Amino acid sequence: MKKVIMSITAFILIAVFVSSSVFASTELKSSIGKVLGTPYKYGGTTTAGFDCSGFVRYIFGQFDVKLPRSSQSQAKAGTKVDKDDLRPGDLVFFNTSGRGISHAGIYVGDGKFAHSSSKGVRYTDLDDAYYAKRYVTARRVATGEDYSKMVSEEEETADDAGE
């Protein structure tokens, strides 16, 4: 019974947090929300399991944005973005292996990114101790109409106001 109550409480707290955040009503957030908790699977590209670049590619595929398969290749797509200029939908890249870019995620606003890690698909703060010191670069791959499908103008403006 305690586990049920704790699960319900956790769900309510997550729902309140997500609904109050800047990225709560975007199509991007909705697409990510549908796969939150999906387990990590090396080489995974489907809802049965994702690796980091498979997750990024899957989400962007829903908006007709074509991306390369690997995080190293994805880090060369689009245009470079300074960390201070991130907007929801930008890709963020990390060196988690000590040998260059080895992890990718999607910036969702509010200082957070979505990614598939060993703990599955989840949101993490960019300033999380582990990821902050491994951050390498960011790329903007969705622009114009593609971007409009992902994030409404109101959300983009609200995110910019938070800077």
In three state form, how does the secondary structure of 74-132 look? HCCCCEECCHHHCCCCCEEEECCCCCCCCEEEEEEECCEEEEEECCEEEEEECCCHHHH
For the question of residue 103 being annotated catalytic, the response is yes
Catalytic residue from among 29, 57, 115, 140: 115
Is 145 a catalytic site residue?
no
Q: Are 45 and 54 in contact (CB under 8 A)?
A: yes
Out of 29, 57, 87, 103, pick the active-site residue: 103
State the CB neighbour count (10 A cutoff) for residue 50: 27
149 is catalytic: no
User: What single-letter amino acid sits at 27?
Assistant: E
State the catalytic residue, choosing from 28, 32, 52, 106: 52
Catalytic residues: 52, 103, 115
